[in-house]
Amino acid sequence: MTRERGLIGFFDKLEDGVRIMLSHYPILYAFVGGVGVVLFWKGVWEAAEYFPAIYGWPSAALGLLLLLPTGLFVSFFIGDNIILSGYRRQKKLVEKTEAEIEKDIDINQAIKIQLDRVEKELLEIKSKLP
């Protein structure tokens, strides 16, 4: 195992553990995440001050040149879920009636039951193979 892979693996496992622990405390999770984001961008901002050529509009242009080709501009400012729901002409959750939400839950439960059945059948087929 290379050092880089070990280091990446370490931080991957650490992230999983912290995320699982914090998911039980959403307000604390939001606070920790908010502080982390602000401190990260504060560091980026302060580092950028060392480069006067990217002050003002050049900074915005460089940001766009970085964000547009990676797809992060639209994803960050609008979000994938909003775009997909618009394509599908879906209502926002707050706009749905209780009956529509219950219908969605019923559909999801039916899909889960069907997937469980397919999984069971696949396991039976797999157990019969040599």
Angstrom distance (rounded) from CA 130 to CA 127: 8
- Encode pLDDT of 67-96 as tens digits: 889 888 877 777 766 666 666 676 666 667
Task: State yes or no: pLDDT of 22 exceeds 60.
Answer: yes
pLDDT tens digits, residue range 31-67? 999 999 999 999 999 999 999 888 889 999 999 999 8
Span of 5-9, 65-69, 122-126 with lowest mean pLDDT? 5-9
Residue 100 has pLDDT above 50, yes or no: yes
Report DSSP state, residue 1.
Answer: -
| DSSP SS3 for 88 | coil
- Rounded CA gap, 90 and 78, in Å? 16
Who has greater pLDDT, 100 or 89? 100
Instruction: Report domain extents, the chain.
Output: 1-50, 96-130
Between 130 and 25, name the one with better pLDDT.
25
- Give this prediction's pTM: 0.51
Cα–Cα distance for residue pair 80/64, rounded to 1 Å: 18
Residues composing the chain: 130
pLDDT score recorded for residue 1: 47
Distance CA 48, CA 58 (A): 12
- Is residue 117 within 8 A of residue 125, CB to CB? The reply is no
